Amino acid sequence: MDFDFSFFLFSASLVTGIIWGGYYYHLKRTNTPYIEENEPLIVEYARSFFPVVFVVFLLRSFIAEPFRIPSGSMMPTLLIGDFILVNKFTYGIRIPVINKKIIDISEPQRGDAVVFRYPKNPSVDYIKRLIGLPGDHIRYIDKQLYVNDQPIKYVSLGRYEGMGQGKSMTGAELLQEDLLGVKHKILINHRAPNIKGTFIVPQGHYFMMGDNRDNSNDSRYWGTVPEENLVGKAFFIWMNWDWENTGIGFNRIGTVIK
């Protein structure tokens, strides 16, 4: 069990609910009329906070959860300072805190931008592009990706111009990648060392890569992601804040993540 913000919300909901409900149960059991002026301060706080905390807990656990992008590993799709929303139910309904799936809804699809718990440290959330499904053979040789021995096609879109905290990627090549029908943009830094590797994705696991291919700590280095580590699918940018650029990036707000 990871003692993260979900655990805090669950605990706060439980404690305030017990205090509020317990007080009214005590009044009913002792046939004591409710008088607002006599309500203990701790009960007043519990009554005020419980509905808010509980609703936030439900929304965050089952509907959508906000995340902030702290690194450039998903450039150009996601920039440092993007605030995103993640669909929590698209891959199935899970019991909060223990993260056990109880209802299947849909399977992860190749090309999804996925938030997951980092396998080597589940208290840390990562976001990457889903490249390999269970059973896939993945090869990455001289900056060329192969899925099941099929070379992935690229279209060059020219020189990338970085901004704000992503300025270091200026000069990289911007490409459109056709991931077997899913088109999205990636960055390749031809000055970076070549990475080579061949991988077979185990059943119940997924192979993840960052869109910033030469600046991403992903499955090429630490392996695949178990299904139980999936958090959800990123789908929307609701805010961008980069103090090294213009502060609020209004042009990023409302962007659908592809």
Question: Between the CA of residue 248 and those of 65, 75, 82, 212, 258, what are the distances in Å?
Answer: 21, 18, 10, 23, 21
Residue 17 is predicted with a pLDDT of 93
Cα–Cα nearest to 257, from 123, 120, 85, 142:
85
Report residue 54 as tokens.
């509980």
6 pLDDT more than 90: no
In SS3 terms, 70-87 reads as CCCCCCCCCCCCEEEEEE
Render 101-168 in DSSP notation, one character per residue: EEE------TT-EEEEE-TT-TTSEEEEEEEE-TT-EEEEETTEEEETTEEPEEEEEEE----GGGGG
- Confidence class for position 2, pLDDT limits 50, 70, 90: very low
Which sequence spans correspond to the domains of the chain? Answer: 5-63, 69-256
Q: Are residues 130 and 232 in contact, defined by beta-carbon separation less than 8 angstroms? A: no
CA distance 139 to 194: 13
From the candidates 13, 61, 73, 216, which is the catalytic residue?
Answer: 73
- The upper half-sphere exposure of residue 257, i.e. CA atoms within 13 Å in the direction of its Cβ, equals 29
User: 232: pLDDT confidence band, cut at 50, 70 and 90?
Assistant: very high
The predicted-structure confidence for 50-76, as pLDDT tens digits, reads as follows 999 999 888 888 889 999 999 999 999
Report whether the peptide linkage leading into residue 66 is cis, meaning its omega lies within 30 degrees of zero.
no
**Whole-number average pLDDT of the chain:** 93
Residue 196 falls in the annotated catalytic set: no
Please give the torsion angle defined by the CA atoms of residues 163, 168, 171 and 173, in that order, rounded to the nearest 10 degrees: -90
**Residues pairing with 240 in the sheet:** 82
- Of the candidate ranges 76-80, 104-108, 210-214, 243-247, the one whose mean pLDDT is the lowest: 243-247
Is residue 1 scored above 60 in pLDDT?
no
Q: Which tokens sit at 56?
A: 């936030």
Question: Is the torsion defined by CA of 136, 198, 258, 91 positive or negative?
Answer: positive
Q: Buried b vs exposed e over 191-202: b needs ≥16 C-beta within 10 Å?
A: eeeeeeeebebe
Token digits of residue 188: 């390749």
Fold of 69-256: Umud Fragment, subunit A (2.10.109)
Q: How far apart are CA 178 and CA 63, in angstroms?
A: 30
**Catalytic residue (one of 88, 128, 143, 233):** 128
Instruction: For the chain, give the percent of residues with pLDDT over 70.
Output: 98
CA distance 38 to 256: 51
- The model's pTM is 0.86
